[in-house]
Chain A
Amino acid sequence: MHRITLTVNGRRRTAEVEDRTLLVELLREGLRLTGAHIGCDTAQCGACTVLLDGHAVKSCSVLAVQADGRRVTTVEGLAKGKRLHPVQAALKAEHGLQCGFCTPGLVLGLVDLLVEQPDPTTEQVRAALDGHLCRCTGYQHIVDAALTAAKALRETGAREGPEPALRELG
């Protein structure tokens, strides 16, 4: 067993974990943050994607003990009260989800992309979606949402400075 301390969605959390506990299990079962989903069990589907020190990772392939001392952002950490994060708002507005299973991972994947590339091309968005399997939408509406979110983030960024969630990550 290891006693680890990590910052999850801005809050310091301490947990006892087994050597083999995966980060996604710590988040879902230990911390009751069930936004990170377990889909494929083999690191392909991307439903478990979270940010680790600001970078999108598949939390089913990271050990919980490896997150000791580090910063984790899950989908629960993005909205400000009732105000959705621009990526979430854009997915809703553009019908970028149906069943929603892949959505939380996808949101974090897109946040990771937009921190690095605030004005991505359609091709860059599609390439960034490689690690996210969606069986409902056919992706087109997700791509639309990503471009809408990018525009919204650039506009708020120009008006109010970078989105706090992005500032923290960047």
Chain B
Amino acid sequence: MYTAPFTYHAPTTLRAAVRLLRAHPGEARPLAGGMSLVPAMRLRLAQPEYLVDLGHIAELAGIEAVDGGIAIGAMTAHRDVERSRLLARRLPLLAHVAGTVGDRQVRNRGTLGGSLAHADPAADLPAAVLALEGVLHTAGAGRARRIPAHRFFLDPYTTALGESELLTRVVFPAQPRRTGWGYEKLENHASRFAVVGVAALVNVGRGGECTRVRIAVTGAGPVAYRARAAERALAGRPLTAQAIARAARAAGRGVEFLADAHGSAAYREHLVAVLSERALRAAIARTGVSL
């Protein structure tokens, strides 16, 4: 099916892109990789009158080491995140999660910023960005903003971005040495979206205790979230099988679980506990500690 008619723009600077979005409030949409937006337009679920393609703005793409961490341009394709040697060393969780998105063709074209700004409640990358405590940099009509990941996702397909505000890059703090990571998802086999996905990062002290833990969950509720109750249940404690299981059970606390054709609320609640335990165990194993 054809999309509704629209006018296509391909600005080459961020300023020009913001200007175009401001000129057509409510009618213009930024186009990143187009892996969600273009199919939605073909189904007429979205009918923007103007498309502002961000693919010609050089400063929006690329992965670089910056003071204290790593910066990734919003228009960096999943395939580049997946294959980056720098990320394999510094943010292996992110590289791995990018490799689980959709399929090969989608990863060739879809982008980190596009996935985050689209905020599909079942997308993989929000879980990784939350766990890694990414900070989302924006540009818009007003001043540029830096939004911590845990304040970015507000509702399904709804973020803290203003109407003519663009996500420009995501900056990740350096991870402590020997951070173990895990990402476990039960995927929808048709779309490869997560029915539920859990990302975990663990650091282990000399005495075998958990010195730091971050857990983030996607697919379970209306937005991806940090599972703070689960983190509190594990931080500072010896990494026993019991402690891990208790933390995993707390990962769904307070969540308004989604229910749809892919799983009931009770099923998702069960998945959060099971996948959290697996993600924690995978993360702990990667620190070199055996349980």
A: residues with CB less than 8 A from B are 2, 18-20, 22, 41-44, 46, 49, 52, 55-58, 60-63, 65-66, 109, 112-113, 127-128, 130-131
Q: What residues on B are CB-neighbors of A19 within 8 Å?
A: 5-8, 51
Determine the distance from Cα of A61 to Cα of B43 in the docked complex, in whole angstroms: 12
Pick from B3, B55, B102, B106: contact of A66, CB under 8 Å? B55
Interface residues contributed by chain B, number (CB under 8 Å): 29
* Neighbouring A residues of B35 by C-beta, 8 Å: 43, 61
- With contact pairs A41-B1, A55-B79, A61-B35 given, residues A46 and B53 touching in the complex (Cβ less than 8 Å): no
- Measured in the bound complex, the distance between the Cα atoms of B4 and A66 in whole Å is 17
Q: Do A131 and B102 contact each other (CB < 8 Å), given the known contacts A57-B109, A66-B55?
A: yes
Q: A112: which B residues are within 8 A, CB to CB? A: 104, 108
**Residue pair A20, B104 in contact (C-beta under 8 Å):** no
Residues B191 and A49 in contact, CB atoms below 8 Å apart: no
9 A-B pairs with the lowest CB-CB distances in the bound complex, closest first: A131-B103, A130-B103, A19-B8, A55-B108, A61-B38, A43-B39, A131-B105, A20-B3, A58-B105
Inter-subunit contact A109/B8 (CB<8 Å): no
B19 within 8 A of A: no
Interface centre among B5, B55, B103, B105 (most CB of A within 10 A): B105
- Secondary structure at chain A's binding surface: helix, strand, loop or mixed? mixed
| B8 in complex: contacting residue of A2, A127, A131, CB < 8 Å | A2
**A18 → chain B, closest Cβ, in Å?**
8
Contacts of B108 in A (CB 8 A): 55-57, 112
B118: min CB distance to chain A, Å: 14
Q: In the bound complex, do residue A63 and residue B34 qualify as a contact, i.e. CB atoms below 8 Å apart?
A: yes
A-B residue pairs in contact (CB < 8 Å), sample of 28: A19-B5, A20-B6, A20-B8, A41-B42, A42-B39, A42-B42, A43-B106, A46-B105, A52-B109, A56-B104, A56-B105, A56-B108, A57-B105, A57-B108, A58-B109, A60-B38, A61-B34, A61-B109, A63-B8, A63-B34, A63-B51, A63-B53, A66-B55, A113-B104, A130-B102, A131-B103, A131-B105, A131-B106
Of the residues A20, A44, A62, A130, contact of B109 by C-beta under 8 Å: A62
Mark contacts of B39-54 with chain A using CB atoms, 8 A cut-off: 1 yes-contact digit, 0 otherwise.
1001100000001010
Q: How far is A22 from B79 in the complex, measured between Cα atoms in Å?
A: 23
Complex Cα distance A62/B43, Å?
A: 15
What residue in chain B is nearest A58 (Cβ atoms)? B105
Whether, in the assembled complex, B22 has its beta carbon less than 8 Å from a beta carbon of chain A, the answer is no
Contact B39 A130 (CB under 8 A): no
Give min CB distance, A115 to chain B, whole Å. 12
Known: A62-B109, A65-B10, A131-B103. 5 other contacts (CB 8 A): A20-B2, A43-B39, A43-B106, A44-B191, A109-B105
